[in-house]
């Protein structure tokens, strides 16, 4: 049978990876069986899903681009899923802009998605391997931030997503310190690594590392297992076979990963399951005990992380290179974000402390068109890091993973609670053109959260609500995948409803060609190349696995192979007396009784079974009755199947609705929190304004009050001064001053007049007596003389008491009792009187 080719319209290549059995689960009934490939040496492409202990349920067959069995290594996956062509498409070796690539995993919780994408503490995942290839390939064409100071500014101006762009040294300095404390468990489990030394795809370097050893691994001859040792990740023990099957005479090897000094040690002879947890994983499980009501820790400020001393080096892909454009220079910009409860959060930006709740929270980002990207939605406002080499990129990856939400559940001790996106932006421009525009293409690596059943995962509270949201988004993703494969199998174009949630929007919005509205058709972007790796546990929950496979498989066929058991019973009872031939099933119908079956996208040959029963002779009527009964039973069996199918559809719908409800409740709680925070901030703002206003009016009021009291006091003082007979000392002084000035003026006037009188006298004495006329008759002197008595009376009026101690009231010439009178020295006035008399 030919493996199914990727249909033209299909948006994803879909691969299936089966995980090895988990410890303690080996005896469970295996539901997934891998079909033998029709051609020798061809990789398997089909699986059969057998319902356990339920003879009435249909057997389903699924087709994938390729199926990887339990013993497949990370390297097998890297090579078999064609990650290299994805990387090459992004690097655009033939010039021009690259094509975006998407590599994602989908599966039930605990089926090995994170293991596949991000690896474990002892082996690398597809993310690290893809990064390794990218950096190795552009090694001589990468631009260095240190030697090109304008690089950062150039990349910043070329970015269309309103991102904050940093250089890796600046970013890492901020995140990592030389912390000397014990290392913390990361977001991934320490996983035993299974390596097949004799495999078509294994590179010589790996074969060198894993010499062929005696032993047997399930379904895979000559397999070895590498187990990392507690507290020493630099060493791994190579076990020739699973411990459960290991014989006493087998010699485990211990090999250095980071250090070159080899160590030899004997593994414990104790019998262990071959997938039993390593000691590191055990300790991790102890510290992160699942389960009931295990809430994810609230986001905290990013502590300074411990710089990872040794990152896993295996598998080695040093000989693999992707083709690049030799005339171009490249820069790599990395960003990471997660989709949690249908909202996007940056994993490279530390959370900020909320004023209202005093908790550390992240700000959700928007997936939207921006000013520089009007035709294409982008995640706006991310923090991006320019990484000049593989080590920097891996450190940034580790920092981002540290921030990702992970929780222990009943199904997985470190279960991803969000869909993680790791984006490698490849910036490219013509070599040597420092002012040239950077073109961008992105390789997005996505580790989806796993679908889970609350009953199995034993989740509660927030973790349960998260699960609802995860299941809901995966259901939308499933719908999109089904639509795309339906579209590819029928001529009718089918619209993929990818705008239903953030996850599908992010995964599918680049799947269709887009042309910039502002630019010509030559700037049309090619749709992304996408690879989906579906992970499944063959011994896992049948319903969950079947649901995921149904969503994701490129083709599916349903067969109802058996006569319902009740029919067999009736026929068996009748067989003692009757012999007859049931009609053969019509071609294309798998039911022995000719009942119609529904087939989805058939690609398998129908089983051409002949169902014959032999009965002893019976009458025609009996035979007809039996036939009718059998037909009726078959019809009813069909009906039951249809009802069952309907029931399972309804249950799925109910589950989705419940999940939606849970997530809505969660959203409501979040909204309430946000509204509370906003109200609190608004209230504080208003309160501050009101306080300011109140203080201002208070001080104004105080001033007014003071003025008012001043005026009152003045009025009171005035009235008191009127009432009081004795004036105050101050008034006295003031009045005295005024009077003294007046007196002085008068004295000066007096002097002047006296001088005039003297002049006139002299003039008079120099005249002859006959010419002397009495002064009274002269007009020039008469005015002066007339004034003198008036002046005297004026002076009399102003006569005040000269002594300050005289407090007793005196009656002045005008009769006023209020003023003290000052007594002027009398001699001047007396002398004037004398002078006057003289005159
Ligand atoms: N192919 C594999 N080989 C060895 N170990 C594996 C494999 N797949 C998964 N495991 C181990 O199984 C455990 C669960 O795997 P993992 O965390 O990758 O599951 P997951 O699908 O990402 O789960 P979730 O959706 O809950 O995050 C881990 O300890 C992992 O190392």
Q: How far is the CA of 537 from the centre of ligand 1 (A)?
A: 10
What sign for the dihedral angle of Cα 127, 128, 129, 132? positive
Closest by Cα among 758, 769, 783 to 835? 758
Q: How far is the CA of 280 from the centre of ligand 1 (A)?
A: 15
Query: Which pairs count as long-range contacts for 495-500, CB under 8 Å and 24+ apart, including other chains?
Result: 496/11, 500/476
Q: How far is the CA of 114 from the centre of ligand 1 (A)?
A: 6
Pocket test for ligand 1, best of 127, 280, 412, 456 (most atoms within 8 A of CB): 412
**Is 449 touching ligand 1 by the criterion CB < 6 Å?**
yes
**Is 107 touching ligand 1 by the criterion CB < 6 Å?**
yes
- For ligand 1, atom 9, which residue shows the shortest CA distance? 112
What ranges do the domains of the chain cover? Answer: 13-187+296-515+524-558, 193-274, 560-721, 729-838
Q: What is the pLDDT of residues 104-137, one digit of tens each?
A: 998 888 888 889 988 887 888 999 999 999 998 8
Q: How far is the CA of 136 from the centre of ligand 1 (A)?
A: 28
**Is 457 touching ligand 1 by the criterion CB < 6 Å?**
no
Tokens 């259901």 correspond to 475
- pTM score above 0.95: no
Q: How far is the CA of 458 from the centre of ligand 1 (A)?
A: 18
Q: What is the pLDDT of residue 281?
A: 40
Tell me the pLDDT band of 21, cut-offs 50, 70 and 90: confident
Q: How far is the CA of 186 from the centre of ligand 1 (A)?
A: 14
- Rounded CA separation 210/240 (Å): 9
**Is 415 touching ligand 1 by the criterion CB < 6 Å?**
yes
Q: How many CB atoms lie within 10 A of CB 47?
A: 24
Ligand 1: nearest atom to the Cα of 111: 21
Q: What is the pLDDT of residues 354-385, one digit of tens each?
A: 777 777 777 888 888 888 888 788 888 889 99
Pocket test for ligand 1, best of 191, 285, 413, 418 (most atoms within 8 A of CB): 191
Paired tokens of 103? 């590599």
Reading phi first (left if > 0) and then psi (alpha if -120 to 50, else beta), residue 308 is in beta
The beta strand positions in 183-327, using DSSP E, are 193-195, 216-217, 220-221, 224-229, 232-239, 253-256, 305-306
Tokens 């990064």 correspond to 131
Q: What is the pLDDT of residue 571?
A: 53
755-771 b/e with 16+ CB inside 10 Å = b?
Answer: eebeebeeeeeeeeeee
Q: What is the pLDDT of residues 529-541, one digit of tens each?
A: 889 899 988 888 7
Ligand 1: nearest atom to the Cα of 188: 17
Q: How far is the CA of 12 from the centre of ligand 1 (A)?
A: 23
Query: Which range (182-186, 714-718, 722-726) has the least confidence?
Result: 182-186
Q: What is the pLDDT of residue 581?
A: 40
- Rounded CA separation 593/358 (Å): 69
Q: How far is the CA of 24 from the centre of ligand 1 (A)?
A: 15
ipTM of the complex: 0.96
- For ligand 1, atom 8, which residue shows the shortest CA distance? 112
- For ligand 1, atom 23, which residue shows the shortest CA distance? 110
Cβ contact 392:172 at 8 Å: yes
CA distance between the termini of the chain: 162
Q: What is the pLDDT of residues 657-680, one digit of tens each?
A: 887 887 788 788 888 888 998 999
Q: C-alpha 393: how far from its chain's center?
A: 19
What sign for the dihedral angle of Cα 140, 144, 150, 151? positive
- For ligand 1, atom 1, which residue shows the shortest CA distance? 19
Q: What is the pLDDT of residues 332-345, one digit of tens each?
A: 999 999 988 888 89
Ligand 1: nearest atom to the Cα of 415: 26
Ligand 1: nearest atom to the Cα of 449: 25
- For ligand 1, atom 14, which residue shows the shortest CA distance? 110
Task: Please tell me whether the peptide bond between 291 and the residue prior to it is cis, using omega within 30 degrees of 0.
Answer: yes
Ligand 1: nearest atom to the Cα of 17: 1
**Is 20 touching ligand 1 by the criterion CB < 6 Å?**
yes
Average pLDDT over every residue of 607-636: 65
Ligand 1: nearest atom to the Cα of 117: 18
Q: C-alpha 143: how far from its chain's center?
A: 29
Query: Which range (270-274, 376-380, 431-435, 504-508) has the least confidence?
Result: 270-274
pLDDT at 210 over 50: no
- Rounded CA separation 472/653 (Å): 10
**Is 550 touching ligand 1 by the criterion CB < 6 Å?**
no
- Rounded CA separation 348/518 (Å): 32
- Rounded CA separation 67/64 (Å): 6
DSSP structure string for 564-627 = -HHHHHHHHHHTTT---PPPPPPTT---TT------SS--SPPP------------HHHHHHHH
Ligand 1: nearest atom to the Cα of 115: 18
Q: What is the pLDDT of residue 129?
A: 92
Q: What is the pLDDT of residues 522-565, one digit of tens each?
A: 456 778 888 989 998 888 878 788 888 887 887 777 665 554 45
Ligand 1: nearest atom to the Cα of 417: 27
Q: What is the pLDDT of residue 700?
A: 93
Closest by Cα among 390, 16, 71 to 201? 71
Pocket test for ligand 1, best of 15, 16, 17, 19 (most atoms within 8 A of CB): 19
Pocket test for ligand 1, best of 22, 26, 114, 125 (most atoms within 8 A of CB): 114
Q: How far is the CA of 535 from the centre of ligand 1 (A)?
A: 9
Q: What is the pLDDT of residue 573?
A: 56
CA-CA distances (angstroms) from residue 23 to 247, 553, 698?
Answer: 19, 28, 76
Domain 13-187+296-515+524-558 CATH class label:
alpha beta
- Rounded CA separation 23/26 (Å): 7
**Is 114 touching ligand 1 by the criterion CB < 6 Å?**
yes
**Is 450 touching ligand 1 by the criterion CB < 6 Å?**
yes
- For ligand 1, atom 31, which residue shows the shortest CA distance? 191
Tokens 């160590």 correspond to 263
**Is 113 touching ligand 1 by the criterion CB < 6 Å?**
yes
Q: How far is the CA of 508 from the centre of ligand 1 (A)?
A: 25
Tell me the pLDDT band of 271, cut-offs 50, 70 and 90: very low
**Is 21 touching ligand 1 by the criterion CB < 6 Å?**
no
Q: Give binding residues as ranges.
A: 107-114
Q: How many CB atoms lie within 10 A of CB 734?
A: 12
**Is 189 touching ligand 1 by the criterion CB < 6 Å?**
yes
Q: Give binding residues for ATP as ranges.
A: 107-114
Cβ contact 592:563 at 8 Å: yes
Kindly report the average pLDDT of the chain as a whole number: 69
Q: What is the pLDDT of residues 727-759, one digit of tens each?
A: 556 667 777 788 888 999 999 999 999 999 999
Residues in the chain: 839
- Rounded CA separation 760/216 (Å): 157
- Rounded CA separation 430/438 (Å): 8
Tell me the pLDDT band of 684, cut-offs 50, 70 and 90: very high
Tell me the pLDDT band of 793, cut-offs 50, 70 and 90: low
Ligand 1: nearest atom to the Cα of 189: 29
**Is 110 touching ligand 1 by the criterion CB < 6 Å?**
yes
DSSP state of 352: E
Cβ contact 250:241 at 8 Å: yes
Pocket test for ligand 1, best of 32, 69, 111, 112 (most atoms within 8 A of CB): 112
Cβ contact 502:73 at 8 Å: no
Q: How far is the CA of 165 from the centre of ligand 1 (A)?
A: 33
Q: How far is the CA of 19 from the centre of ligand 1 (A)?
A: 8
């Amino acid at each position: 049978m030919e493996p199914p080719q990727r249909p033209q319209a299909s948006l994803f290549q879909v691969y299936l990876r089966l995980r090895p059995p988990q410890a303690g689960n080996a005896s469970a009934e295996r539901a997934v069986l891998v079909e033998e490939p029709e051609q020798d040496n061809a990789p398997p492409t089909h699986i059969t899903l057998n319902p356990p202990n339920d003879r009435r349920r249909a057997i389903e067959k699924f087709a994938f681009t390729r199926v990887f069995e339990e013993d497949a290594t990370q390297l097998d996956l890297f090579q078999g899923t064609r990650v290299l062509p994805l990387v090459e498409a992004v690097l655009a070796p033939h010039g021009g802009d690259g094509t975006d690539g998407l590599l994602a995993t989908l599966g039930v919780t605990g089926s090995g998605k994170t293991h596949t994408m991000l690896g474990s503490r002892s082996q690398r995942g597809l993310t690290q391997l893809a990064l390794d290839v990218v950096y190795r390939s552009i090694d001589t064409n990468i631009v260095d931030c240190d030697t090109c100071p304008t690089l950062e500014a150039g990349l910043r101006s070329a970015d269309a997503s309103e991102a904050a762009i940093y250089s890796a040294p600046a970013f890492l300095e901020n995140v990592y310190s030389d912390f000397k404390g014990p290392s913390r468990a990361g977001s991934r489990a320490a996983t035993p690594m299974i390596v097949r030394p004799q495999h078509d795809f294994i590179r010589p370097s790996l074969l060198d590392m894993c010499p062929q050893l005696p032993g047997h691994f399930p379904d895979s001859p000559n397999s070895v297992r590498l187990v990392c040792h507690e507290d020493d990740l630099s060493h791994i023990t190579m076990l020739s076979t699973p411990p459960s099957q290991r014989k006493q005479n087998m010699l485990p090897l211990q090999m250095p990963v980071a250090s070159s000094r080899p160590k030899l040690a004997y593994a414990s002879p104790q019998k262990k399951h071959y997938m039993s947890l390593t000691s590191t994983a055990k300790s991790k499980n102890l510290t992160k005990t699942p389960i009931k009501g295990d809430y994810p820790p609230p986001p905290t400020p990013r502590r300074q992380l411990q710089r990872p001393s040794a990152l896993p080096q295996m598998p080695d892909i040093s000989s693999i290179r992707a083709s690049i454009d030799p005339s171009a220079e490249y820069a790599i910009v990395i960003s990471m974000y997660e989709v949690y409860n249908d909202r996007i959060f940056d994993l490279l930006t530390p959370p900020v402390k909320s004023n209202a709740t005093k908790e550390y929270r992240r700000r959700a980002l928007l997936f939207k068109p921006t000013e520089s990207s009007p035709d294409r939605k982008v995640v706006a406002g991310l923090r991006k890091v320019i990484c000049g080499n593989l080590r920097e990129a891996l450190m940034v990856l580790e920092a981002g993973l540290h921030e990702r939400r992970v929780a222990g559940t009943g199904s997985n001790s470190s279960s991803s609670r969000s869909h993680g996106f790791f984006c490698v932006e490849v910036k490219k421009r013509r070599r040597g053109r420092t002012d040239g525009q950077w073109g961008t293409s992105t390789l997005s690596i996505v580790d989806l959260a796993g679908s889970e059943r609350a009953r199995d995962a034993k989740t509660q509270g927030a973790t349960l609500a998260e699960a609802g949201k995860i299941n809901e988004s995966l259901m939308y993703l499933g719908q999109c995948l089904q639509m795309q494969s339906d579209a590819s199998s029928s001529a009718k174009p089918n619209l993929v409803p990818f705008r239903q949630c953030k996850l599908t929007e992010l995964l599918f919005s680049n799947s269709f060609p887009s042309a910039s509205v502002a630019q010509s058709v030559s700037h049309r972007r090619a749709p992304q190349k996408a690879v989906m790796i579906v992970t499944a546990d063959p011994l896992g929950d049948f319903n969950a696995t079947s649901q995921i496979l149904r969503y994701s498989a490129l083709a599916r066929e349903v067969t109802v192979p058996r006569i319902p058991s009740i029919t067999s019973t009736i026929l068996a009872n009748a067989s003692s007396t009757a012999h007859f031939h049931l009609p053969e099933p019509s071609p294309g119908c798998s039911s022995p009784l000719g009942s119609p079956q529904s087939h989805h996208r058939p690609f398998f040959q129908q089983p051409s079974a002949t169902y014959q029963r032999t009965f002893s002779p019976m009458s025609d009527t009996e035979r007809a009755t039996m036939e009718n009964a059998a037909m009726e039973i078959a019809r009813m069996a069909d009906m039951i199947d249809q009802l069952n199918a309907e029931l399972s559809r309804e249950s799925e719908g109910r589950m989705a609705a419940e999940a939606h409800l849970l997530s809505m409740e969660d959203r409501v709680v979040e909204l309430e929190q946000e509204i509370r925070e906003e109200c609190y901030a608004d209230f504080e703002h208003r309160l501050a304004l009101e306080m300011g206003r109140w203080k201002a009016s208070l001080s104004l009021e105080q001033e007014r009050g003071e003025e008012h009291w001043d005026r009152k006091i003045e009025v009171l003082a005035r009235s008191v001064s009127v009432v009081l007979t004795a004036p105050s000392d101050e008034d006295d002084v003031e009045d005295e001053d005024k009077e003294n000035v007046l007196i002085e003026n008068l004295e000066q006037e007096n002097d002047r007049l006296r001088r005039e009188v003297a002049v006139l006298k002299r003039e008079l004495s120099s005249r002859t007596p006959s010419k002397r006329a009495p002064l009274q008759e002269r007009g020039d002197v008469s005015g002066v003389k007339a004034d003198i008595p008036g002046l005297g009376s004026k002076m009399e009026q102003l006569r005040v008491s000269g002594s300050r101690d005289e407090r007793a009231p005196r009656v002045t010439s005008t009769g006023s009792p209020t003023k003290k009178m000052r007594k002027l020295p009398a001699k001047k006035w007396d002398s004037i009187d004398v002078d006057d008399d003289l005159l």
